[in-house]
Amino acid sequence: MNLIFHGHSCIQISDGEHSIVIDPFLTGNPVAKSKAEDIKVQYILLTHGHTDHTADAEAIARANDATIIATFELATYYSWKGLKTIGMNIGGTVDLGFAKAKLVHAFHSSSIIFYDSQSIVYAGMPGGFVLDWNGVTLYHARDTSLFGDMKMIGELHDIDYAVLPIGDFYTMGPKDALLAAKWLQAKNVIPVHHSTFPGIAQDTVAFTAQLKEQGIEGFALQPGEQLTLVK
């Protein structure tokens, strides 16, 4: 399997004919190397409603006739736009045929903000996804603080790759993410949600060096870089 980091929190995972993208934010993303029209997928997984995670969801869904998978509220919002959706909730698992995606909790907020009308719409609880695909388990924690139930997630799932935010300010920073990696018992970690904007700039090389001291492999991917996922 192949993983592409598109910048911020957006990753795409592919295996031959099957491909999914999580939290597509390419338009307006100053570090992204790809454009929305470059993304070819069957499924779009959304962890919460904030624009820096959903900006290109509608465009990619329409261009690919792809299905959006999200919490019930957020999926309903996109279904009203005439898009194919699967609305689920925390703790549930959806079978994609080639992979299974379990929605787990995260500690953050989730809304759709309409700046013109100065209104905010609730978009359901934020979450993360645990993907089981070809024997590889990947946990995309998404925007979250450190929380104790990461220990439980690590106990329930044999996590090969943990995709963890390290930007601080809006999410946990490197220090908490290092502890999260240990609690999750993750074999490998990919840091995300950093360095897109000045307020969340982080040194990923230093972070991966700290991971290595704990016996965990870290991958400081730059936008556009790829990684082969192996068990």
What are the chain's domains?
Answer: 2-225 (3.60.15.10)
The tokens of 109 are what?
């907020």
Give me 231's structure tokens.
């068990």
Q: What is the pLDDT of residues 59-84, one digit of tens each?
A: 999 999 999 999 999 999 999 999 99
Q: Which residue has the tokens 């809304």?
A: 111
- Specify the pLDDT at position 93: 98
Instruction: For residue 88, name the pLDDT band (cuts at 50, 70, 90).
Output: very high
Q: What whole-number distance in Å separates Cα of residue 73 and Cα of residue 76?
A: 5
Amino acid 160: pLDDT? 98
Give 121's strand partners: 112
Find out whether 127 and 103 touch, Cβ atoms under 8 Å.
yes
Calpha distance 80→94 (Å, rounded): 21
Report which of 89, 168, 180 is spatially closest to residue 127, judged by C-alpha positions.
89
pLDDT at 159: 98
Neighbours of 113 (CB within 10 A): 13
pLDDT at 134: 96
- Name the packing angle between helices 72-79 and 57-64 (round to 10°): 60
Residues 91-137 pLDDT 10s = 999 999 999 999 999 999 999 999 999 999 999 999 999 999 999 99
- Residue pair 129/47 in contact (Cβ under 8 Å)? The answer is yes
User: Whats the size of the chain, residue-wise?
Assistant: 231
Half-sphere CA count of 40, side-chain side, radius 13 A: 6
Residue 38 gets which letter from DSSP? G
Q: Is the pTM of this model over 0.95?
A: yes
- Going through 92-160 in order, the beta strands assigned E by DSSP cover 93-95, 99-105, 111-114, 119-122, 127-133, 136-140
**Chain-centroid distance, C-alpha 110:** 14
DSSP helix/strand/coil, 51: helix
What is the arithmetic mean of pLDDT over 196-201? 97
pLDDT bracket for residue 56 (50, 70, 90): very high
